[in-house]
């Protein structure tokens, strides 16, 4: 089977893409790239398997107002040119929300696309863009199979009790429940854990996906038992621009005392809160770590304080903690954040090797730590590519 598998992750302000050989099981892509700053100043970057930057060609100068769909239609001929005689055999998409029905990767149809559209209010930052990418590919080459892989799917193994809110049963029955997200990232971590932990991989593990969006997943037997995100991707940890867990009374106050409508509250909770809101400076941890402003320090301290607290709250669900795994942009690269979180977990026996942590090593636990502490790169693209290969096979 010659040709390639294309993976797309279309987010609110970025488009990530990768090409994998269709006839291989390798998790490393042949090409990896992204377009960031969509809606402001789009910037394209792509690298081959050797890490060499590739010329942008027609993607060099992108208009500030260009849409996700238009970007995809510009990207596809560029990928075609890079592939040469080889063809794209399948396209896999990260789709944030699968609701209660879609748990496994599935080949897209018009009917499924319509059903997934109804879930957009539950993931307004991502779902519309995820589905727009599917439509753009269909307009390009309708004959190419497209596979949707769901961020909510990994958490389908949770006990039904873990998915319930203490709300009237009728609301639960119509789908108001805890779904959990970042499932493709956690699935990759679950897949590679045995390589790093051996038999301990089947034990009590918490993975921390810390990026601009952030969540935690408690696993046992490499299956999701509990997670910090719930009905939407707002819940749980403090994030780059999202508030995380919030007393629902605050929302009532904003409506009743401040006269804010749903759109204003959505803007506040999804865009103007988190690291950005607390600091008033940036949603970037690195920018805040480099800043001398006390508000920057407070934002990072609050981020670590909340992360440690939420993490500790997940431990009863798995009966203890054998290993902690950091992944995603902040988790992989922000050593001071990892240190601050783990310092708050010292009562659990967590201890870091300062030198290994500063070097972003894979195994950063100190010899005396009773909990293994790892840093593993996120690779959602490999999970999506594997789903496409399975369909092609």
Kindly write down the DSSP assignment for every residue of 211-247, as one continuous string: SSSEEEEEEETTEEEEES--SSTTSSS--SS---S--
Number of Cβ atoms within 10 Å of the Cβ of 392:
15
Q: How far apart are CA 38 and CA 353, in angstroms?
A: 39
User: Which DSSP letter does residue 162 get?
Assistant: G
Q: Count CA atoms closer than 13 A to 7's CA, side-chain side.
A: 29
User: Which DSSP letter does residue 365 get?
Assistant: B
Cβ-proximal residues to 128 (8 Å cutoff; 6+ apart), any chain: 120
Range 362-370, long-range pairs (CB < 8 A, 24+ positions): 362/196, 363/196, 364/338
Is residue 290 annotated as part of the catalytic site, yes or no?
no
Return the biggest CA–CA distance within the chain. 63
List the one residue out of 365, 378, 383, 384 whose CA is nearest residue 200: 365
List the one residue out of 123, 190, 115, 113 whose CA is nearest residue 151: 123
33 contacts 16 by C-beta, under 8 angstroms:
yes
Name 309's bridge partners: none
Helical residues (DSSP H) of the chain, grouped into ranges: 68-83, 110-117, 127-140, 169-173, 183-197, 248-256, 262-271, 274-279, 285-290, 294-318, 328-333, 335-343, 354-358, 380-392
| Catalytic site residue from 23, 110, 151, 235 | 151
Q: How far apart are CA 350 and CA 344, in angstroms?
A: 9
Tracing tokens 């070097």 back to the chain, one arrives at 359
Q: How far apart are CA 105 and CA 92, in angstroms?
A: 9
Q: How far apart are CA 217 and CA 311, in angstroms?
A: 9
Residues annotated as part of the active site: 151
């Amino acid at each position: 089977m010659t040709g390639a598998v294309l993976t797309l992750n279309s987010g609110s302000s970025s488009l990530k893409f990768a090409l994998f050989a269709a006839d291989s099981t390798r998790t490393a892509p042949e090409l990896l790239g992204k377009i960031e700053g969509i809606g402001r100043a789009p910037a394209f970057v792509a690298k081959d398997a050797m890490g060499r930057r590739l010329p942008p060609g027609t993607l060099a100068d992108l208009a500030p107002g260009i849409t996700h769909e238009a970007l995809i239609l510009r990207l596809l001929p560029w990928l075609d040119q890079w592939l040469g005689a080889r063809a794209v055999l399948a396209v896999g998409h990260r789709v944030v929300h699968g609701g209660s029905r879609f748990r496994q990767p599935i080949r897209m149809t018009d009917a499924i696309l319509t059903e997934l559209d109804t879930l957009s209010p539950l993931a307004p930052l991502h779902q519309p863009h995820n589905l727009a990418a599917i439509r753009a590919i269909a307009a390009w080459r309708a004959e190419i199979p497209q596979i949707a892989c769901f961020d909510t799917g990994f958490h389908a193994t949770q006990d039904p009790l873990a998915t319930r809110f203490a709300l009237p049963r009728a609301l639960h029955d119509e789908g108001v429940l805890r779904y959990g997200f970042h499932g493709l990232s956690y699935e990759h971590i679950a897949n590679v854990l045995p390589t790093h932990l051996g038999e301990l991989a089947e034990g009590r593990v918490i993975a921390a996906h810390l990026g601009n969006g952030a969540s935690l997943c408690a696993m046992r037997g490499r299956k999701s038992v509990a997670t910090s995100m719930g009905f939407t991707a707002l819940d749980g940890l403090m994030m780059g621009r999202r508030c995380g867990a919030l007393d629902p009374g605050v929302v009532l106050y904003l409506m009743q005392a401040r006269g804010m409508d749903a759109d204003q509250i959505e803007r506040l909770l999804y865009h103007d809160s988190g690291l950005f809101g607390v600091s008033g400076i940036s949603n970037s941890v690195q920018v805040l770590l480099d800043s001398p402003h006390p508000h920057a320090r407070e934002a990072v301290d609050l981020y670590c304080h909340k992360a440690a607290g939420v993490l500790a709250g997940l431990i009863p669900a798995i009966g203890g903690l054998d290993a902690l795994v950091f992944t995603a942009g902040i988790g992989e690269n922000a050593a001071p954040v990892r240190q601050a979180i783990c310092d708050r977990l010292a009562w659990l026996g967590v201890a870091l090797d300062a030198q290994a942590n500063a070097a972003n090593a894979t195994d950063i636990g100190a010899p005396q730590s009773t909990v293994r502490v790892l840093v593993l790169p996120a690779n959602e693209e490999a999970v999506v590519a594997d789903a496409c290969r399975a369909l092609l096979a």
